[in-house]
Amino acid sequence: MSLGKQILSKLGAIGKALVWLLYFICADGVIYYTFDFIGVDRKIYKGIFTLCSSIVVFITMIVIARLLSLKKEPLIKIKKLDPGQVISLVVIALGMLGFVTLYIIVADKISAYLESLKDAMEEYRDSVDRFSDTPQVVVPAWDTVVYVITLCFVIPVTEEITFRGVIFGQLRRAFGPWVSVILSALIFGVMHGLTVHIGYAVACGIIIAACYHLTDSILAPILLHSIFNIFGSGIATFMSFEAFGIPDKVSSDFMLGTNVLSMLMMPVAVIAFAFLVSYKRKKEKDLLKLEETSEVQVELTEETSNGANGETPVTSEDDSIEAKE
């Protein structure tokens, strides 16, 4: 393929990835305006709104993934995870949460000296607080439960199918795995906002996409994302809902313990990531040996078959002389 065609192919892959991102936004927008049309307050019923949005996006992305996989390598890879991989992913998820916690602490300290960053930090806190713009008394308890369940288990599936499945998968066809890891992470970061979010979202996007590549299973990023959301905001949102009657002391102690544990897991997460790299290399070597063994077996089978059919093996002139002597 000429250089010009290679450049066009890569630009085309980026363009397609952005188109699928647009589908993601449009699918979410359909529910957004549907709630407005029927007069349902999205802020009060954020749980049911988020669930409906996630379901529509999930269906859209699954259809796109199937269409893009026709007569081609599947965009979304699904393999069973081994116990060692699962343990490593849990550790990486907690370490990733520790990194984000440290990132926010540092950003908060710096904001004391930068007015613009201070405003950005206030916007960030409002964005992660379920009840920042809605009084708890008007929010049904069942909707809060739906919101937490969706946040912890449904959104991870939807976003990973979108960003690691469709978008990363499309980019990987043109750029290979590691360049695609960076590109998909940048898209993932921009989607989370261009303020405080983008720094840690890009970093987390790199880690999640890399783990997807190392395991060849979409279950890996879903597990990472789910654990991150459970301990990062899911449990905290549930505990902060006053109607459930959870004492503030219990909530604050839990969050403090989670933050400390997650930061302590950061160096362990590096070791867990190294394990995934080593595990993939071992699998690739084993597969290569298996292919080589299969080729040898095929050659031996063909030779045996030729002998059984009465075909005389071809002998060299030297072999004939030795036989006469």
| 195-207 residue pLDDT tens | 888 889 999 999 9
Please, are residues 143 and 168 in contact by the beta-carbon 8 Å criterion?
Answer: no
Please, are residues 168 and 184 in contact by the beta-carbon 8 Å criterion?
Answer: yes
For the segment 241-270, the average pLDDT, to the nearest whole number, is 93
pLDDT-derived band at 8 (thresholds 50, 70, 90) equals: confident
- Helix, coil or strand: residue 101: helix
Specify the pLDDT at position 221: 97
Which is it for the CA torsion 266, 253, 129, 43, positive or negative? positive
For the segment 238-250, the average pLDDT, to the nearest whole number, is 91
Chain centre distance of CA 156 = 8
For the segment 121-133, the average pLDDT, to the nearest whole number, is 84
| 269-321 residue pLDDT tens | 999 999 999 999 998 898 888 877 776 777 677 667 766 665 555 555 554 44
Q: Provide DSSP, 261-297.
A: HHHHTHHHHHHHHHHHHHHHHHHHHHHHHHHHHHHHH
Average model confidence (pLDDT) for the chain?
Answer: 89
Q: Is residue 298 part of a domain?
A: no
Domain count of the fold of the chain: 1
Q: Is residue 46 part of a domain?
A: yes
Specify the pLDDT at position 139: 94
- Domain hosting 32: range is 3-293
| 155-185 residue pLDDT tens | 999 999 999 999 999 999 899 999 999 999 9
For the segment 197-225, the average pLDDT, to the nearest whole number, is 95
Give me the residue label for tokens 């550790």. Answer: 91
Q: Is residue 69 part of a domain?
A: yes
Q: Is residue 220 part of a domain?
A: yes
| 38-75 residue pLDDT tens | 999 999 999 999 999 999 999 999 999 998 888 888 88
Specify the pLDDT at position 286: 87
Please, are residues 108 and 202 in contact by the beta-carbon 8 Å criterion?
Answer: no
For the segment 130-152, the average pLDDT, to the nearest whole number, is 93
Specify the pLDDT at position 48: 97
Tokens for 97, please give them. Answer: 């949460």
Tokens for 82, please give them. Answer: 């081994």
Tokens for 229, please give them. Answer: 């959301």
Q: Is residue 309 part of a domain?
A: no
| 78-111 residue pLDDT tens | 999 999 999 999 999 999 999 999 999 999 898 8
Q: At 53, phi and psi to the nearest 5?
A: -60, -45
pLDDT-derived band at 1 (thresholds 50, 70, 90) equals: low
